[in-house]
A and B are shown apart, each in its own frame.
Chain A
Amino acid sequence: MITAGIDMGLEYVKAVILKDGKVIGRGRGHSGGAARAANAEAAYDGALKSAGIAAGDIQKVVSTGIGKHDVTFAGACRTESVTAVKAARFLCPDATTVVDAGADETLISTIKDDGNPGEVAINQKCAAGIGLFLNYMADRLELSLEEMSAAAPAPAECRVSDGCVPFAELDALSLLNHDAAPAEIAGAVTLSAAARAASTINDITVPNLRSVVLCGGLAKNKAFVKALETLTDIAFHIPEDAEYAGAIGAALIAAS
C-alpha cells in the first residue's frame, strides 16, 4: 500500500510517501500565504518525484499541521498530536513520549501502550513562535542555521527574557547594542527558546526520561536540543526524519 502524508506547518510544508511501512519519498517547501494549496502540491510533487512514482499510485493522502485544511487534495486531516505520536512509535518503536518542537508550536504527548496519545500539552499562547524566532534571529545576527545550531552556551551575563518572543527580541537587540558577540547572543536566544519549550514539557509527567522522541524542525538545532536536555534531564532520541515526523504520521494514518 502506498500512501502520502502532508504536514503544513507555519513556515514549511513537508510531504512524504510511504510504501509498506517504508518512507520512499520526501518533499519540502515554504508554506506561504495565498499559494498554500499550490505549495502543498509542489511539496507533494517533490515527494512523488523523489519516490519515482505517479500521483495515481497513491491510495490515500492525509494532511496535518496548522494549515492542514489548506491541503485541498488530502482525503482527510488529522490533528498534530495524533500524527506526532504515530510517527514517534514508527521511528522509534519503544518511545513512550514525543516532543514536537516547530516554528510556532511546542507539543508534548505521552504514548499509550496501544500507540494512541495519552496526556497531551501544547505551549501556552505566550510561548508560541520559538522556531520562527530562532530563524529570524539567525538572519539578524548574520549567522547561518548551522552556526546557530553550533552556538555555545552563552555566559551568565549574556541572557535574554525567556518569557516571550517580543521581550526576547528586544533583549537580544539591547545586547547587540552593548557590543555582545553575535555568537553569544545566539547562545542566549537559544537558551530562552529552550526554556520556553521546557516549560511546556514540564506541564506533564514524562513517564520515562530515556525514551522520549524529539521531532520537528528544532530537533535539527543541536544547541537547542542540548539546552533543552540540560533543562529537562531528558535524553532525546532524534530520528533522522525528525523534520518529516508529522508528515510520516499522517501517511501512517492514511495506511491504517
Chain B
Amino acid sequence: MTKEYGKWPESGWSSETIDWKKAKRVAAGIDIGTTSTQAAILCDGELFSYASVRNGASFKKAAASALSGAMGSTGLSQKDIHASAATGFGRKHAPFAGTLLDEVHCHAKGARFLFGPEVRTVVDMGAQSVKAIRLYDWDRVRDFMMNDKCATGFGRNVEIICDLLDVPITEIGAKSLEVDSEPEPVSTTCFTFALTETLGLFGEPEFRAAPLTLNEVYASYLFSVAWRVLGVVGKLQPLDVGDIKVYKELAFTGGLAKNPGITKRIESELQVTALESKYDPMLAGAIGAAILA
C-alpha cells in the first residue's frame, strides 16, 4: 500500500498547569489493546499526561513506548510513580505495572472520569471487541456484555476499509453522514462478509436504480458496524424496564468513539445524545487503570 489511511495518528499530551513534583500521589495506568496502547498519568486524581501509540509485533515494546511517551519531557521517571496498573488484552506485557486489572472496571471508572459521574452506560468500541457496561448510580458495575467471537474486529476492519478505499479514518465517519437517505447496511453478521459486500457496492448498478455514491458506500459499511454494536448494547440489563430514558447517560469510549459515522447512528437508533468529553475517548481504559491503581 502506497499510503496509509486507516491508522489514527499517535498522540501525546501533558498538562502545563500541574506540577507533578507537588503531587502527593502520582498514579499511572496503561491500557494495552490489541492494536494500540494508551498510557495515562494522574497527579492527585487530575489528568497530568497521556500518550497513545500503535502496537507492532511486540506488546512489550508498545507498553514501554506508551509509558515513556506519557512521561515525555515532563521530567517524571518511573520511580516517581507511586502506583501503576495495566489493563487490556496485552496487560501482562507491562512489567512495571503493580496491578493487573480487567477492562470492564477500568472503562467504567475511566468513562466516569472523562464524561462525568452521571454516566450510566459505557460502550467501549475497540479495535477487536465491543463492551457495553451498565453502571449503578453509585460506583458499581451492574451488568456488562461483550461481542460474540464471530463479530470480532470492529475498529480493525474500519481501518482496513479505509486503507482499501483510500479514505482517511479521521474523515470516513463525517463523510458517511453526508447522505440523503440511509442506504441498506452490508452484512451485519461478519466482517469478512461486510468487506466483500462493501467492495461489491461499486460499479454498475445491476440490482438498484442508481449507483451508490461513495458516501453511501461508507454509510452502508459503518451502519453495519453500528448495528453490530447495537446488538451488544441491546443485550444489557435495562435499568428501568419499559423506560427509554435508561440510555440517556451514555458514553462512548475507544477508537470508534471518534467516528461520528458510528456514534451518530447508534445515538439515533437509541434516541439519545451521548455525553462528550474534552479528552480523547480512547484514554478511558488507561485513566480507569490509573484511578484504580
Contact = CB atoms under 8 A, between A and B. Distances in A.
**Chain B interface residue bracket vs A:** 35 or more
A125 B90 contact: no
Interface stretch (A30-38, A82-90, A204-212, A219-227): A30-38
A126 B194 CA distance: 11
> Range of interface residues on chain A?
35 or more
Given A29-B2, A30-B166, 8 more contacts: A33-B167, A126-B190, A128-B193, A128-B195, A128-B196, A166-B153, A166-B192, A177-B89
Contacts of B93: 177
A33 B165 contact: yes
A24 interface: no
Interface string B45-68: 000000000011101000000000
Contacts of A70: 202-203
Contact of A170 (B55, B149, B202): B149
A72 to B, nearest CB: 10
A173 B199 contact: no
Contacts of B196: 104, 125, 128-129
A10 interface: yes
B166 A169 contact: no
B56 A142 contact: yes
B203 A69 contact: yes
Contacts of A126: 190, 192-193
B164 interface: yes
Contacts of A35: 166
Contacts of A33: 164-167, 202, 214, 217
Interface in A122-142: 125-126, 128-129, 132, 135-136, 140-142
Given A166-B191, A170-B152, A142 B57 contact: yes
User: Sorted from nearest, which 6 A-B pairs have the closest CB atoms?
Assistant: A33-B165, A69-B203, A32-B166, A142-B57, A69-B204, A182-B57
B57 A140 contact: yes
Given A69-B204, A140-B57, A169-B156, A34 B192 contact: no
Contacts of B57: 140-143, 176, 182
Contacts of A119: none
B95 interface: no
Contacts of B193: 125-126, 128
B165 A164 contact: no
A10 B153 CA distance: 19
A66 B199 CA distance: 8
B192 A125 contact: yes
Contact of B164 (A10, A29, A164): A10
16 contacts: A29-B2, A32-B165, A33-B164, A33-B166, A67-B202, A67-B203, A69-B203, A69-B204, A125-B192, A128-B196, A169-B153, A169-B156, A170-B152, A173-B89, A173-B128, A177-B93
Contacts of A162: none
Contacts of B89: 173, 177
B1 interface: yes
A101 B56 CA distance: 27
A182 to B, nearest CB: 4
Interface in A242-256: none
A114 B203 CA distance: 32
Interface in B90-139: 90, 92-93, 128
